[in-house]
Amino acid sequence: MKVLLVSSEVAPFAKTGGLADVAGALPLALRKLGLDVRVVMPGYHSNQYGGQKPETVLPQILVQLGRNHFWGDVSRATLPGSDVPVYFINNPEFYDRAGLYQENGRDYPDNPRRFAFFCKAVAWMIKGLGWTPDVIHCNDWQTALLPVMLKTDAEMKDDAELRSIGSLYTIHNMAYQGNFWAGIIDDLGLDRALFRTSALEYYGAVNTMKGGLLFSDQLSTVSPTYAREIQMPAYGCGLDGVLRDRAEDLTGILNGIDYEAWNPEADAHLAASFSWSDLAGKAVCKEALQAELGLESREDVPLLVMISRLDPQKGLDILLPQLPEILKLDVQLAVLGTGRADYESMLAEAAKAHRGQMAAVMKFDNGLAHRMEAGGDIFLMPSRFEPCGLNQLYSLRYGTLPLVRRTGGLADSVEPLAPDASWGTGFVFEDYTEAAMMKALRQALALYGRPDAWRRTQVRAMKMDFSWDKSARLYIDLYEECGRTDL
Ligand code: ADP
């Protein structure tokens, strides 16, 4: 089977979020299972090619968008440590910029054109290479117009090769939909007839994600629970009706994690290594973390950790009001995150007022994230919604028991602790309320007071399998269902 993964970011070349991790890791797992998988992304100015020098494979590609023509070219490297080809669609005018999508917090105004160019160039690249995938796997709004173009563009829809391609569209977060003013229909050279409620029109605007949802042969998102949730108004961000209409074609597949980067038995960021069969190193990591963050050196106190974008999605509006109550308990708290200024200052003030008990580090620090996963006891992730979530998966692997709300990927990866503690891997609450969260915290602290039961739970958590191999097999099943259906 031949699959082309189409993504606006791919680790380690360019990354702003979890999408890049998926786009960098899933193809490796698919390749190991024998697929002819290739990846395509824009050639950004900031791409990290690691010692590779991409070779030009198509020196000229001409893309027409409405009345304008744009030239680009295609170069090729491989995903590090593999023979998986990664194609870069190059166009300096569009991609030689400081950011991927924005600069100084403001989206680039020509984003629709930048990514429509990308989508169309991908189709012409397929023709130019003479390599026709069975399935294109598109991700998020930046690539959503490709399935639309394949089925509606005058030149593409009757092309014998392009016609044979099936499509999968994966939603990584419903909150980012790529909504633009109606005029881009002409600018992008899309068929004007697409400006209707049953296509791209969305309350007077053009919604590119909606196009992906309606024109792709199959849809997926990054956890089974999120796949159900987004069909409800509370989680669907206005597109729940569209998703209900396509419920039969919507699948949820949990993301895997990078087991090489996140392995407590061989993690260069840690003071000591450990595993489920020998947890001694975890105590060393805790002591080292306490020293690094200026927390009191105490082995017996439960250390709560949180690593997060500081965004309302992540549950900060139920956590922050409870900080005074939490800090009255015999616990330590460490938070690593960046985001909303008011959240940052509340956390920094609380840490200042509770020196030795609480630390707040407001920056992006991957090494510290690893040390916190290793040195913590309880991982806090009380998200309002969570398409998949990675940190709870890392924390399970590092024996740092997660406290989570039962939503999205959190519901699918953390098993609630049984009342007698005989099974379960974490502390799960249902209602998005301070009281429900605090009840789960009390449950966590009660278990912490029973070292044997705590340890058994840690071992269960650390033995769970969230490898990409497992998820990649599910994607292959889905690709097999992606045969092109015409409109
Ligand atoms: P989301 O993609 O919604 O931000 P995830 O849990 O899926 O949440 O992934 C977040 C990723 O970013 C994880 O790998 C996490 O460790 C990392 N991360 C988030 N904030 C920080 C930070 N301040 N420092 C280091 N790593 C961070």
Report how far ligand 1's centroid is from the alpha carbon of 308 (Å).
5
CB 457 within 8 A of CB 425: yes
389 lines ligand 1 (CB under 6 A): yes
Mean pLDDT, the chain, as a whole number?
96
**At residue 118, what is the residue type?**
F
Q: Ligand 1 pocket check: which of 257, 307, 394 to mutate, most ligand atoms within 8 Å of Cβ?
A: 307
Instruction: State the pLDDT at residue 214.
Output: 98
Report how far ligand 1's centroid is from the alpha carbon of 381 (Å).
11
444-465 per-position pLDDT tens digit: 999 999 999 999 999 999 999 9
Q: What is the separation, in whole angstroms, between the first and last Cα of the chain?
A: 24
- From the CA of 336, give the closest atom in ligand 1: 23
Instruction: State the pLDDT at residue 484.
Output: 78
- The two three-digit tokens of residue 43, written as one number: 């050639």
Helix (H, G, I), strand (E, B) or coil at 119: helix
Residues 128 and 162: their CA atoms lie apart, in Å, by 12
Report how far ligand 1's centroid is from the alpha carbon of 361 (Å).
14
Residues 154 and 213: their CA atoms lie apart, in Å, by 21
101-112 per-position pLDDT tens digit: 999 889 999 999
6-57 per-position pLDDT tens digit: 999 999 999 988 899 999 999 999 999 999 999 999 999 999 998 999 999 9
What share of the chain has pLDDT > 90, as a percent?
96
Residues 186 and 394: their CA atoms lie apart, in Å, by 45
Residue whose CA lies nearest to ligand 1 atom number 8: 389
- Average pLDDT value for residue range 352-356: 97
Domains of the chain: 2-256+469-482 (3.40.50.2000), 280-465 (3.40.50.2000)
- Distance (Å) of CA 20 to CA 27, 103, 172, 221: 12, 19, 11, 15
- DSSP category for residue 177: -
Residues 225 and 412: their CA atoms lie apart, in Å, by 7
77-118 per-position pLDDT tens digit: 999 999 999 999 999 999 999 999 999 889 999 999 999 999
- From the CA of 389, give the closest atom in ligand 1: 7
Report how far ligand 1's centroid is from the alpha carbon of 307 (Å).
6
Backbone angles phi, psi at 270, to 5 degrees: -95, 155
Residues 435 and 440: their CA atoms lie apart, in Å, by 9
Does 486 score more than 80 pLDDT?
no
- The two three-digit tokens of residue 153, written as one number: 């563009």
Instruction: State the pLDDT at residue 17.
Output: 84
Tokens 């990054």 locate to 222
- The two three-digit tokens of residue 244, written as one number: 């209900």
CB 190 within 8 A of CB 156: no
Instruction: State the pLDDT at residue 487.
Output: 63
161 lines ligand 1 (CB under 6 A): no
Q: Work out the pLDDT band at 259, boundaries 50, 70, 90.
A: confident
Sign for the CA dihedral angle at 99, 150, 176, 474 comes to negative
- From the CA of 373, give the closest atom in ligand 1: 16
